[in-house]
Amino acid sequence: MNMNPHADEERALEEHDLAPGDEVREGEVAAGVRGYILGLALAILLTIASFWAAQTNLIYQPGIPVALLVLAVAQMGIHLIFFLHITTSPDNTNNILALAFGVLIACIVVFGSLWIMTHLNYNLMPDEALMRMQP
């Protein structure tokens, strides 16, 4: 008799929380290859859709950056799930935390650089004042 009634539930959840391409047993290599091929096909499809969205007149012009952003986020999701095998299972907690930390650092660098570039003129001394300081 099982002393922990939740152990079977947890084991069943872990078996269903596999990323596409994860082999459950060593003999299931074909399923893993199918997962990678599906991920590659979706990534190619999203890349083609991005080029189409950038060049078409069917999308409202100010909405094109939003469409490209949505397609880029979808592309990142495809890569995270199909190629990096990041899921919500308990053994992927460190991967998710490392990914979140990487995204945080990238956002700090990008937004910090943008803030510095937009406020650069406010922090510089005007040319007239600089010329008056020279002997």
In a structure prediction context, what are the per-residue pLDDT tens digits for the chain, which is 135 residues long?
Answer: 455 655 565 555 555 566 665 555 655 777 778 889 999 999 999 999 999 999 999 989 889 999 998 999 899 889 988 888 887 777 777 878 888 888 899 889 989 998 888 887 666 767 777 677 766
**Do 22 and 74 sit in the same domain of this protein?**
yes
Q: Which domain holds residue 133?
A: 91-135
Q: Based on the domain organization, do 19 and 53 belong to the same domain?
A: yes
Q: Do 21 and 83 share a domain, yes or no?
A: yes
One domain, residues 37 and 96: no
**Stated pTM of the model:** 0.59
| CA 45 vs CA 28, 37, 41, 51, 52: distances in Å | 26, 12, 6, 10, 10
Domain total of the chain:
2
Residue 6 lies in a domain: no
Is residue 39 assigned to a domain?
yes
